[in-house]
Amino acid sequence: MSNKIVAKRNVEQYTGRVITRFGAELLVTNGDQRPLRCITKRKLDHAACGDEVVWQENQHGNAFVTKILPRKNALTRRTYRGRPKTIAANIDQLIVTSSWLPRPIWDLVDRYLMAAVQLETDAIIIINKSDLELKQATKEDKKALQDYRDIGYTVISINAINGDGIDELRELMKNKINIFVGRSGVGKSSIAQHFLPDTEILVKEISQSGEGQHTTTTATLYDLGNEAYLIDSPGVRDYALDELTQRKLSDGYREFASYVQNCRFNNCTHNHEPQCRVRTAVEQGEISPQRYQRYLNALKNMV
């Protein structure tokens, strides 16, 4: 993921992707060679894991990042001062993770799917701890999973302990930059370890060789082969939209899309307005009543 570009002032420049941050320094891909430590100008200190950057060699120290290329998207979270901070960029696929213990929260799954829509990424749904399904899954749970399948989402049953479902997930991660999202305790780290058996080796080796230290809140990009990449970070995994609007909410329910244009009012909330095509579709069984009710619950919580 590193390529030479046109020389500038007799200095060869290259493109690469940010693997992680170590304080004020970046670790950037360098083709098939060992990743490079880079420094940046102050105006580029917002570079984040997943960013594509232009860098050049420096005979007197670390390589130097000269430009951040345009982002496809960015995952952000609020700092303690309330400012948005990018923690990962250029995501291709959200892997929305739940389990049978702790039990799935379908409203939360819906919220992650809304995030995928806003980021214009693919999304797949996985349910970990498949060995507990017979004991834990209710009829409502099974209906929820079928609803997702009916509107086009891929749903995979996983057992992180024995590896069931891992190969299917691995296939869907090819040619994409992936990221796990989901509540604590569902087994995201255990699943990730099937793809990253040596995760600590490179990061520890590099961090101990310099001043910067890798922390558990820093997003890190891992090359899985087959053009598949995984961004691993607790801060990213628990990501969800923090500024939800009615439009974003409605857009997040993909099954509404073919109906909203036929609502009587352009600003229809699909709740109480007359001649709402979405509500009619629910009444006629074209949209899942359970999904629609979760939409109404989320709409109510926005008020």
Q: What was the pLDDT predicted at 219?
A: 87
Q: Which two tokens stand for residue 254?
A: 């993909």
pTM of the model: 0.88
Task: For 204-234, write each residue's pLDDT tens digit.
Answer: 444 444 333 433 457 889 999 889 999 987 7
Examine the domain organization and report whether 109 and 173 are in the same domain.
yes
Task: For 113-168, write each residue's pLDDT tens digit.
Answer: 999 999 999 999 999 999 999 999 999 999 999 999 999 999 999 999 999 999 99
Examine the domain organization and report whether 259 and 287 are in the same domain.
yes
In a domain, 84, yes or no: no
In a domain, 79, yes or no: no
- The CATH number of residue 8's host domain is 2.40.50.140
Examine the domain organization and report whether 100 and 156 are in the same domain.
yes
**pLDDT band of 49, cuts 50, 70, 90:** very high
In a domain, 75, yes or no: no
* Parent domain of 97: 89-237
Q: What was the pLDDT predicted at 22?
A: 82
Examine the domain organization and report whether 117 and 212 are in the same domain.
yes
Kindly write down the DSSP assignment for every residue of 107-126, as one continuous string. Answer: HHHHHHHHHHHHHT-EEEEE
Write the CB contacts of 70 (distance below 8 Å, at least 6 apart in sequence).
none
**Residue 96: pLDDT above 90?**
yes
Buried-exposed string 206-243: b where 16+ CB fall within 10 A, e elsewhere? bbeeeebebeeebbbbbeeeeebbbbbbebbbebebee
Examine the domain organization and report whether 158 and 211 are in the same domain.
yes
Residue where one domain finishes, among candidates 197, 213, 237: 237
Write the CB contacts of 285 (distance below 8 Å, at least 6 apart in sequence).
none
Examine the domain organization and report whether 143 and 274 are in the same domain.
no
Token look-up 């036929």 returns: 262
DSSP annotation of 297 reads H
In a domain, 266, yes or no: yes
Examine the domain organization and report whether 229 and 252 are in the same domain.
no
Examine the domain organization and report whether 179 and 212 are in the same domain.
yes
Beta strand spans in 120-238 (E) = 122-128, 154-157, 177-181, 220-225, 228-232
In a domain, 78, yes or no: no
Q: What was the pLDDT predicted at 204?
A: 44
Residue where one domain finishes, among candidates 23, 39, 68: 68
Beta strand spans in the chain (E) = 3-8, 11-22, 25-30, 33-40, 52-56, 63-68, 74-78, 84-89, 93-99, 122-128, 154-157, 177-181, 220-225, 228-232
93-99 vs 122-128, strand pairing mode:
parallel
In angstroms, the CA 284 to CA 286 distance is: 6
Examine the domain organization and report whether 230 and 250 are in the same domain.
no
Candidate from 122-126, 161-165, 179-183, 286-290 with smallest mean pLDDT: 179-183
Q: How many domains would you assign to the chain?
A: 3
Kindly write down the DSSP assignment for every residue of 38-50, as one continuous string. Answer: EEE-GGGTT--TT
In a domain, 74, yes or no: no
177-186, 194-203, 232-241, range with greatest mean pLDDT: 177-186
Examine the domain organization and report whether 253 and 228 are in the same domain.
no
In a domain, 292, yes or no: yes
- The CATH number of residue 297's host domain is 1.10.40.50
Are residues 26 and 65 in contact, defined by beta-carbon separation less than 8 angstroms?
yes
In angstroms, the CA 119 to CA 93 distance is: 9
Is-cis flag, bond preceding 197, omega within 30? no
Q: Which two tokens stand for residue 228?
A: 């598949």
In a domain, 80, yes or no: no
Examine the domain organization and report whether 251 and 232 are in the same domain.
no
Examine the domain organization and report whether 104 and 208 are in the same domain.
yes
Residue where one domain finishes, among candidates 196, 211, 237: 237
- The CATH number of residue 177's host domain is 3.40.50.300
In angstroms, the CA 207 to CA 257 distance is: 47
Q: What was the pLDDT predicted at 241?
A: 72
Q: Which two tokens stand for residue 232?
A: 């691993």
